[in-house]
Structure 1
Amino acid sequence: MQAWRVHDNGEPSEVMRLEETERPTPGDGQVLLRVRAANVNFPDALLCRGQYQVRPPLPFTPGVEICGETEDGRRVIATPALPHGGFAEYALADAAAVLPAPDALDDAEAAALHIGYQTGWFGLHRRARLEAGETLLVHAAAGGVGSAAVQLGKAAGATVIGVVGGPDKAAVARELGCDVVIDRRAEDVIAAVKEATGGRGADVIYDPVGGEAYTQSAKTVAFEGRIVVVGFASGTIPSPALNHALVKNYAILGLHWGLYTTKNPKLVQHCHEQLTDLAARGAIRPLVSERVPLSGAASAVQRVADGVTTGRIAVLPTSENGAAA
C-alpha cells in the first residue's frame, strides 16, 4: 500500500515521504481500516516537527482523524493508532474507540466531525457550560477547530463573535453564521469586542491560538466569564496573570479532549450521539474547504501548519468507487 511516512522530524513538506509499505497488522484490541478520508489537523504538523505531546517512534505515518471502512464493510470514524496514521490507504485504530459514521455526512465531512467537533462540544458544554443567550467569542473562527466551535455555539443559541486573520477568512466566518466578525489584521480586537458587547465582554471565549489571542481574551472576557484554552496554534504558550483572573472574576479552563477517551469514554460516545443528531438536523455541517488525493497530503499539512487554510482539508486515498485515487 501507499503511505506517507516521517523518518526525521522537521517541517511537513520536507520530512513527509510517500512510500510503498506493507499493510499494518492489527494488535490486540485493534482493527484494520481502509481509509476513505483523512482530514488534516494542526497536530499532524506538530507530530512531524516532534512537538506533539505524543511522539510515535520513527518512522511513522501522520493523520490523526479518519473516516474508514472495516473489513466487514461498516463506515466508521476513528483516531488512528500511531504510528499507523491516516495518510495511507490503510490505518489501524483501537476497536473500542471506533464510532459509526453519521449517515447525513459524506466521508470527508464525517471524518471532520470527530476531533474538532468533539473538542468543541466538550469545551463549550462540558467545561464552559455555555447557555443560550450568552456571547461566545471564537478565535481563529474560520479554521478547522474554530469553525466547529462557531457552528456548535450557534446551535446552542449563543451570539457568536468570530476573530479571524484577513478578509477571505472573514467571509468564511460570516458564512458559518458568526453574528459579528472581527479581522484582527485590520481592527483592534479588544475595542471591537467591547463595542459589540456594549462594554460587557464575552461570556465564553474559545481559544485554540494562545499568544496574543489569549492576551486579548483576558481583556475581553465578561464578569464570571470562562476562557477555554484549547491549544496554541500561534506557537506561544501564554502565562496567565492569576491575579487578573481573581480581580475580574473569570475562569480559565483547560481542555484536552483526548483524556476523555481514557478517563470517561462513555462521555465521548454520548458526545458523538449529540453531534450525530445535530448533523442529521442540519444544525452543524463540517466545513471541508478542499479535497486532495493522497499525493497531496504533505502540501496540505504544510499549509495547515502555515495557517493559510480554512475549515478542513480532506485527503482522499481512494476514489468514491473504492479504487486508488
Structure 2
Amino acid sequence: MRAIHVTEFGGPEVLRLVEVPDPRPEPGRLLIDVSAAGVNYADTHAVEDSYLSRSTLPMIPGGEVVGRTEDGRRVVALADGNGGYAEKAVVREDLAIDVPESVSDAQALALIVQGLTAWHLLRTSGRVAPGESVVVHAAAGGTGSLAVQLAKAFGAGRVIATASTQDKRDLALALGADVAVAADGDGLKDRLVEANGGRKVDVVLEMTGGRVFEESLAALAPFGRLVTYGLAGRQAPEPVHAAQLMGRSRAVVGFWLMHAIGRPGMFREPLSELLEMVADGRLTPQVGGVYPLAEAARAHEDLRARRTVGKLVLDTSR
C-alpha cells in the first residue's frame, strides 16, 4: 500500500510517500480501507517528536481515518498508534464508530479528534454554564470553528472569537461568534475585556501558549476557567503560581483527548451526539482543504503557516 513514511524527525520535509506492506489486524482490531485521513496540528508535533507523547521511528503519522471495514461498514476511527496517512490502517474496534450516510468523510474526520476535543473543552473541562462568556482562540481552525458553534448550542451567553486575519474573524462571526478580535498576544487581555462589554471573561479555550496564554489568564473573571489544550506557538508560557489562581479564584485546566479515550461515556457517546448534530444540520464542520496523500507535506506546511481554516483532509485515492 501507499503511505507517508517518516524515518527521521523534522518538519514537513520528512513526510515521504512510499510503498509499505499492508498492516495486519490482531484480535480486537479492524482493518480499514482508508478513503480519507485527517490532519491535525498535533501531527506536526509528532513528526518532529515534540508532542506530549513521544514518537518512535519509523512511523506513519496520522491519528484519524474514515473508510470501510472488511465487512463493508463505513466507519470513522482513531488510528492505532498513528498509521492514518495510508491506504489501509488498523484500528481498535472500540475506537471505530459507524458514520451516517448523510455525513461526509471530511465532516466525520472533523469530529473524531477536533469535534470531541471541542465538546470536552466546553463540557468536561470548561464546564460552561448557561449565560457565561466563552473565548475561543483560533476560532477559524478545526477545533475552534466547532467550539464556536457548540458554545452557542450549549447556552453560552457571549462567544468571543480570536483569529489572525479579518477573513478568519469573519468566518467565526458567520459561525455564531458574537464578536471577533485579533489573535496576537500584545494587548489581548484588554481586547477580550472590551469584547465582553468591559467585564472579564468566564471561560477561555487556549491552544497557543506563550503570551496568548498569559494575557488570557489575566482576562479571567473570578471563578473563571482557562482550558489549555495545545502549544501551537511552540512557546511555553511563564509558570503559573498558586497565588495567581487563589488571589482571583481562577483555574487553569489542561486537556488532552487521549485521557478521555477508554473512559466510560467520554468517547462513543459525545461522538454520537456530534454526528447526530451534523446529520440534522445543527453543526457544520468547516472543511478547509483536501490534499492528495502524496502532498501531506504541503498540508503540514499550510497548517504550520496558519494559511488554513477548518479541517484538513488527505485523499488516499490521489
Instruction: Tell me which interval the TM-score lies in, with the shorter structure as reference length.
Output: over 0.9
Q: In 1, distance between residues paired with 2:170 and 2:247?
A: 37
**Quick check: 1:166–1:185 contact (8 Å CA) kept in 2?**
no
**Quick check: 1:136–1:204 contact (8 Å CA) kept in 2?**
yes
Q: In 2, distance between residues paired with 1:188 and 1:153?
A: 24
Residue type of the partner of 1:246? M
Residue type of the partner of 2:259? L
Helix, strand or coil: the match of 1:266? Answer: coil
2:87 aligned residue: 89
Query: In the TM superposition, what is the alpha-carbon distance from 1:7 to its structure 2 partner?
Result: 0.4
TM-score relative to the length of structure 2: 0.94
Helix, strand or coil: the match of 1:35? Answer: strand
Q: In 2, distance between residues paired with 1:74 and 1:43?
A: 28
Change (3 A) 1:185 1:4: same
Query: In the TM superposition, what is the alpha-carbon distance from 1:187 to its structure 2 partner?
Result: 8.1
**Quick check: 1:34–1:69 contact (8 Å CA) kept in 2?**
yes
1:148 aligned residue: 146
Helix, strand or coil: the match of 2:247? Answer: helix
Deviation string for 1:272-315 (max 9, x for gaps)?
Answer: 12212222331212111111221221210222123322111111
Say whether 1:254 aligns with 2:248: no
For structure 2, which runs of at least 5 residues remain unmatched after alignment?
none
Q: In 2, distance between residues paired with 1:16 and 1:235?
A: 20
1:32 aligned residue: 31
Query: In the TM superposition, what is the alpha-carbon distance from 1:237 to its structure 2 partner?
Result: 2.2
Residue type of the partner of 1:15? V
Say whether 1:107 aligns with 2:136: no
Correspondences of 1:36-51 after superposition (within 5 Å): 36-51=35-50
Query: In the TM superposition, what is the alpha-carbon distance from 1:93 to its structure 2 partner?
Result: 0.7
Helix, strand or coil: the match of 1:114? Answer: helix
TM-score relative to the length of structure 1: 0.92
Helix, strand or coil: the match of 1:124? Answer: helix
Q: In 1, distance between residues paired with 2:54 and 2:223?
A: 37
Helix, strand or coil: the match of 1:115? Answer: helix
1:16 aligned residue: 15
2:225 aligned residue: 226
**Quick check: 1:56–1:82 contact (8 Å CA) kept in 2?**
no
Residue type of the partner of 1:120? A
Give the length in aligned residue pairs.
316
**Quick check: 1:290–1:314 contact (8 Å CA) kept in 2?**
yes
Change (3 A) 1:187 1:170: farther
Change (3 A) 1:211 1:186: closer
Q: In 2, distance between residues paired with 1:200 and 1:108?
A: 38
